[in-house]
A and B are shown apart, each in its own frame.
Chain A
């Protein structure tokens, strides 16, 4: 594991996940979320829980980067994006379950699922583009998988 490249990939993934989350869920979907305001914390309460949001994104970014670094050994953006789409689908499943048990709207469900897939596909491409292990390691993995 190249920890220096891993660290840069992790920071880039964290920044992207956080900014995308703000743009997609808090800005683009703001109107849809207002329709279910009883399910959300009031503004002041949200601010006091903001640290959890940051921590959550840090955990997501760290383990997603670890997943890409481990399972996309060739370190290409396209391979990272494919893994990101699959990870996005793993995380989209609970959104469908939430829709069944929480009074969410269909618009919110679609927004969350599309958001998760796009978010992790791009994050995967970013990590794949940044985290490129040394050529010898890539050759070793290719040989081993034959």
Chain B
């Protein structure tokens, strides 16, 4: 449980700063090209807690899947899980691109950024959390 919480917090801190770097800095100009799709800055800030809850949910569910023990253990297993989940999420992003008028550039770079994010989240979780079966076999 202790390692679960540490893995969750470490991955959450990373995902929070990565989200800010990717969406708030790197892709800022791409977002600015479609202002009609986004809330005004002041409104976004008043709803900021939803971003925190959303990121926490992603990390919590990720660690839960990893902690189920079927993923194996270690950094490699975490990275594999991250890649599988994120490529599925890219599929979902393509679905959103079909129905919402996002610029293709935003979807492309958002997907690359998402893949890097989940690879690193997987590595962090894999390095910190050891599923019970792995802990027993390593003793």
Pair B55/A97 contact, Cβ less than 8 Å: yes
A102 to B40, CA, bound (A): 9
A23 to B22, CA, bound (A): 34
Residues of chain A with a CB closer than 8 A to B133's CB: 145-146
**Interface residue? B47 (CB, 8 A):** yes
A53 and B88 in contact, given A71-B68, A100-B54 (Cβ under 8 angstroms) = no
A73 at the interface (CB under 8 A from B): yes
By a CB distance below 8 angstroms, the chain B residues around A102 are 37-39
Q: Which residues does A use to contact B, with CB under 8 Å?
A: 21, 38-41, 45-46, 49-53, 55-64, 66-67, 70-73, 83, 86-87, 89-97, 99-103, 145-146
Most chain-A Cβ atoms within 10 A of its Cβ — which of B53, B55, B94, B97? Answer: B94
Complex contact B85–A97 (CB within 8 A): no
Q: How many residues of B contact A (CB 8 A)?
A: 46
Which of A45, A73, A96 is B101 in contact with, Cβ under 8 Å?
A: A45
Tell me whether A96 and B50 are in contact in the complex, defined as CB-CB below 8 angstroms, given that A70-B84, A86-B65, A101-B39 are known contacts. Answer: yes
In the complex, are the beta carbons of B92 and A91 less than 8 A apart?
A: yes
Q: Least Cβ distance of A128 to chain B in Å?
A: 12
* Contact of A86 with B61 in the complex, beta carbons under 8 Å: yes
Question: Given A59-B88, A91-B89, are A86 and B50 also a contact pair (CB < 8 Å)?
Answer: no
CB distance from A139 to the nearest CB of B (A): 15
